[in-house]
Amino acid sequence: MPLNVLMPALSPTMTEGKLAKWVKKEGDAVKAGQVIAEIETDKATMEVEAVDEGVIGKILVPEGTDGVAVNTLIAVLLEEGETAADIKAGAVPALKAAAPAPAPATPVKTVMPANTQGAAPQKTVALLPQKGGRIYASPLAKRLAKERGIDLSRVSGSGPHGRIVKSDLDKAPTAAAAPAKSSAPASSIDAKALADAYGIPYTLQPNSGVRKVIARRLLESKQTVPHFYLTVDCELDVLLKIRKDLNEGAADFKISVNDFIIKATAAALVKFPAANVSWTDDAIVQYTRADVSVAVATPNGLITPIIKDAANKSLKVISIEMKELAAKARDGKLQPAEFQGGTISVSNLGMFGIREFGAIINPPQGAILAVGAGEQRAVIKDGVVKPATVMTVTMSLDHRAIDGAVGAEFLQIFKKLIESPMSLIL
């Protein structure tokens, strides 16, 4: 029986994505485990593998299509002995499911929908089931609903899988209308209109799905998380000497200053777990392991691969893992488990000569360290002015979960570890 290939949920937070590329084309034979498409999620471009073998009978969503909702039918796979004639109208079943069950921890490979009258029975292939509680609507329908003040929860969808489309809004009863709500104030100035009005030359660079998610999450963080900032200076001369000695004796790896910072951040959280927390309305989440998210710049925007349990890993292991994760991040090959989660973040702009900055917290984490460049400064020791290599670190904290004294004590522990780094090696 033909297999319906659905848009997979490649991460717990994914609701829609861009079908970036079809690796296989109509008529191509595929085996289970072979890559058939590349999908741009909210954080990376990921490969989609076939879970059954067969022939690509029909591609329903062309590559380059943006805003494809999870569980949208994107292609049909034919099994042995089947032809395109077997697809018929049943290839696009109306999968209006009952209340969805909670998502299992393991991927779901096949689901059997009810047979369509007069059509061959179809199997549906999906990597992960859709999460419940979400309204499925096309991007156009969402935009129009917002403009018209229509409550989508009160509109029935006639599109594939019950998805709300533009025509459903045209038929929406007046009772479905509700005052339009905006999660963020719209900008009072349209940059494009302003440039047009004053004849300023420009080009337009369409926002990728990743960039849109970054913008939404950063705006949400600054609007909903009460940030406050603490800054400390750390002397690096001892650390730089130890790093030089370690790298001179290493053949297959090189330790960076950032590797020391990752290790020190995790070790400080273990020594002072009161800072290793996140806020929820019902309770403060106290983590028992220190997972450090590290900001990496990519062509599509910022992403934060995670060094898990960093306090219990050697500098060598951290160095190797970080290089591998950074390379995968830049290639868009990170798996969700490699960048989703983390209990604290580190953002280092020191390599660009930035002395000091304040970073935006990555929800639901409670803190992020903004690391500046190590530079020669005059410091006073025992009443004498001496030169030292100093690095400024600014910690952004969620004041709901972490008080000022807690953040200050954490930074004192972090500073001591950076300035006396032998404890990070032994």
Could you read off the pLDDT of 212-237 as tens digits, one per residue? 888 888 999 999 999 999 999 999 99
The pLDDT of residue 102: 38
Q: Strands 3-6 and 123-125: what pairing?
A: parallel
Query: Which among 293, 313, 268 is positioned nearest to 425, based on CA atoms?
Result: 313
Band (pLDDT 50/70/90 cuts) for residue 426 is confident
Q: What is the pLDDT of residue 43?
A: 65
> Could you tell me the CA-to-CA distances from 335 to 65, 339, 347 in Å, in that order?
22, 7, 20
Residues 173 and 231 grouped into a single domain: no
Taking the C-alpha atoms of 209, 215, 217 and 220 in order, what is their torsion angle to the nearest 10 degrees?
-140
For residue 97, pLDDT over 50 is answered with no
CATH number, residue 273: 3.30.559.10
3-state secondary structure 272-292: CHHHCEEECCCCEEECCCCCE
Shared domain for 389 and 410, answered yes or no, is: yes
Average pLDDT over residues 367-396: 96
* Rg for the chain, CA atoms, rounded: 26
- Residue 407 has what pLDDT? 97
pLDDT band at 187 (very low <50, low <70, confident <90, very high): low
- Which range is least confidently modeled, 147-151, 158-162, 254-258? 158-162
Do 54 and 120 fall into the same domain?
Answer: yes
Q: Are 235 and 321 part of one and the same domain?
A: yes
Is residue 285 in a domain?
yes
Cα 195 to Cα 33, 188, 198, 202: the distances in Å are 49, 14, 5, 8
Q: Which of 42-56, 291-305, 412-426 has the lowest mean pLDDT?
A: 42-56
134 domain-assigned: no
In the prediction, which pLDDT does 258 show? 97
Cβ contacts of 404 within 8 Å, gap of 6 or more:
228, 230
Q: Do 420 and 311 fall into the same domain?
A: yes
CATH number of domain containing 99: 2.40.50.100
Q: Which among 2, 32, 4 has a CA at the least distance from the CA of 124?
A: 4
Which domain does 89 fall in, by range? 3-125
Higher pLDDT, 204 or 15: 204
**Spatial separation of the C-alpha atoms in residues 121 and 113, rounded to whole Å:** 8
Alpha helices by DSSP H, 17-120: none
Average pLDDT (78-107) is 51
Is residue 10, in this structure, part of any structural domain at all? yes
Question: Domain end: 85, 100, 125, which one?
Answer: 125
Of the pLDDT bands very low, low, confident and very high (cuts 50, 70, 90), residue 379 is very high
Residue that is written with structure tokens 């002072």 in the block = 272
User: Does residue 355 surpass a pLDDT of 90?
Assistant: yes
74 shares a domain with 31: yes
Exposed / middle / buried, residue 80 (Cβ in 10 Å: 0-12, 13-18, 19+): exposed
Number of domains in the chain: 3
Residue 124, pLDDT > 70, answer: no
Does residue 132 lie within any of the structural domains? Answer: no
Structure tokens at 336: 């969700």
How does DSSP classify residue 380?
A: E
Is residue 258 a contact partner of residue 266, using CB atoms and an 8 Å limit?
no
Which is more confident, 242 or 70?
Answer: 242
Q: Name the DSSP letter for residue 340.
A: S
Contact 74, 6 (CB under 8 A): yes
| Whether residues 285 and 303 fall in one domain | yes
**Chosen domain end from 125, 152, 185:** 125
Residues acting as catalytic residues: 399
User: Please, which pLDDT band fits residue 313 given cuts at 50, 70 and 90?
Assistant: very high
Residues 200, 221 share a domain? no
Q: Give dist(CA 319, CA 260) in Å, integer.
A: 9
Residue 184 has pLDDT above 60, yes or no: no
Same-domain check for residues 109 and 162: no
Query: Are 408 and 271 in the same domain?
Result: yes
Average per-residue pLDDT in the chain?
Answer: 82
Neighbours of 70 (CB within 10 A): 22
Mark whether 109 and 147 lie in a shared domain. no
Quick one: how many helices (H) and strands (E) in the chain? 10, 20
Whether residues 333 and 379 share a domain: the answer is yes
